[in-house]
Amino acid sequence: MLTDDLAHRGLLPLLTLEKGDSCTAEAWPRRRLELLERLQAHCYGRTPPAPRRVEGAVVWRGEKAYAGKAVNERIEIAFDTPGGPFALPFHLVRPVGSAPPPVVLHLAFRPILRGLAEKAYPNLDDRYSPVEEILDRGFAAAIVCYQDIAPDTCDGDYSGHLAGLFRKPGPRGADEWGKIGLWAYGASRVMDYLQTRADLDRGCVSILGHSRLGKTALWCAAQDKRFFAALSNCSGFGGAALAKHGAGERVADFVRAGSWDWFCPAFAGRVGREDDLPYDQHFLVACLAPRFVNIASAATDRGADPRSEFLAGVAAGEAYRLLGLNGLVTPDRYPQPGDVLPEGEIGYQLRPGDHFLSRWDWARHLEFIEAKRRASRARPASG
């Protein structure tokens, strides 16, 4: 069934090099760069080089968060940009009394407890960030509000925060980065700081996002190989969902809403041409190989197109198998609501209900990371 459905989609070949040769395991690093080039040129835009240095400082610390089982720190990182210095705040909440914990970097929709309020209320509270459950599983949570990186304004407004510091006068070039690229760049700068913390498991930092931030999590980890895994939740078109012959959102929907500026300008020129794109989202998922990715869908989330999200994972598995890995391990059928497929390097889960980041989603994402972290530690050291 799934093989026939993928054949019907007529996807672009994943493992054919630009010069026409078949990709081998040895050539995979080169093919990965070719896939990233397609995605930069036609979808997300080009990411500038990382700054030479990122500095971080703890500006506030709550020593007894969550009944004394965690430390809550508000951290501010700073780095240079073409338009001057930029400062980005985020929260790091880590369990106490244990070995360096794995970390989930959560791209969040709302700013969380700033300023004087932190002193009165040391615990975080956000419906999309179940921090206590994260802590109870032994994880640390790094939480950054995407609006603090670049405001989510519409129709090409690039005047705020990090966006304004990189913009040049005049219209954006066809392959100039959009907001997703900016948000991903900011997340990678948080990763720069997390790599300096010996009290964290720096080899197991994963990035999670929902909806537009699920798209961002995938794009960030596809480019930044330091991330252990990408955890996408209902990311849909421009995220995990295949575009070709898809049943969810289309380019025209983003243009109508003004959110085309999440992407590069070339993206907006593809209205009505989704079946003829020079890339598709199995390229994006495959760019994480041989690392891990967990794709979460919701059964009635029509805009995100769960079947297309699932098929992208199936198609991307070809790159993992090239490397001697499993990719997405699944029966030859579409998942049913409640199904969880965690066995391979690509995981998939389908929750009943609609577009949301629920406790159920979080629990399955964390279980996926726990299992992959254990398996990674059990592997013999290479060399």
* 244: containing domain: 2-50+97-376
- pTM value is 0.96
Identify whether 174 is part of a domain: yes
Sign of torsion over alpha carbons 153, 82, 75, 362? positive
The pLDDT of residue 126: 64
The rounded distance, in Å, linking the Cα atoms of 141 and 86 is 23
- Alpha-helix runs per DSSP H in the chain: 2-9, 28-39, 65-68, 117-120, 131-136, 146-149, 161-166, 179-194, 212-223, 251-257, 265-268, 281-286, 306-322, 359-378
For the chain, what is the domain count?
Answer: 1
Q: 370 pLDDT exceeds 80?
A: yes
The 10s digit of each residue's pLDDT in 237-290 is 999 999 999 999 999 999 999 999 999 999 999 999 999 999 999 999 999 999
Identify whether 60 is part of a domain: no
The 10s digit of each residue's pLDDT in 9-28 is 999 999 999 999 999 999 99
The rounded distance, in Å, linking the Cα atoms of 239 and 215 is 4
**Structure-block tokens of residue 374:** 């254990």
Identify whether 202 is part of a domain: yes
The pLDDT of residue 120: 44
Identify whether 180 is part of a domain: yes
Identify whether 67 is part of a domain: no
Q: Which residues pair with 145 in a beta bridge?
A: 108
Identify whether 297 is part of a domain: yes
**Which has more confidence, 293 or 128?**
293
The pLDDT of residue 110: 81
The rounded distance, in Å, linking the Cα atoms of 265 and 256 is 14
The pLDDT of residue 116: 37
Contact 111, 190 (CB under 8 A): no
Which amino acid belongs to residue 216?
Answer: T
Q: Which residues pair with 219 in a beta bridge?
A: none
**Structure-block tokens of residue 369:** 């990371």
The 10s digit of each residue's pLDDT in 294-317 is 999 999 999 999 999 999 999 999
Identify whether 24 is part of a domain: yes
Identify whether 55 is part of a domain: no
184 by DSSP, 3-state: which? helix
Average pLDDT, the chain: 94
The 10s digit of each residue's pLDDT in 179-203 is 999 999 999 999 999 999 999 999 9
The 10s digit of each residue's pLDDT in 114-151 is 433 445 445 555 668 899 999 999 999 999 999 999 99
Start-to-end CA distance of the chain, whole Å, equals: 41
Contact 345, 327 (CB under 8 A): yes
Sheet architecture: strand order including 103-108:
54-64, 70-81, 84-95, 140-145, 103-108, 205-210, 229-233, 292-298, 346-351, 340-341
Q: How many CB atoms lie within 10 A of CB 251?
A: 21
What mean pLDDT comes out for the span 86-100? 93
CA 277 to chain CA mean position, Å: 22
Give the CATH number of the domain where residue 121 resides: 3.40.50.1820
The pLDDT of residue 112: 62
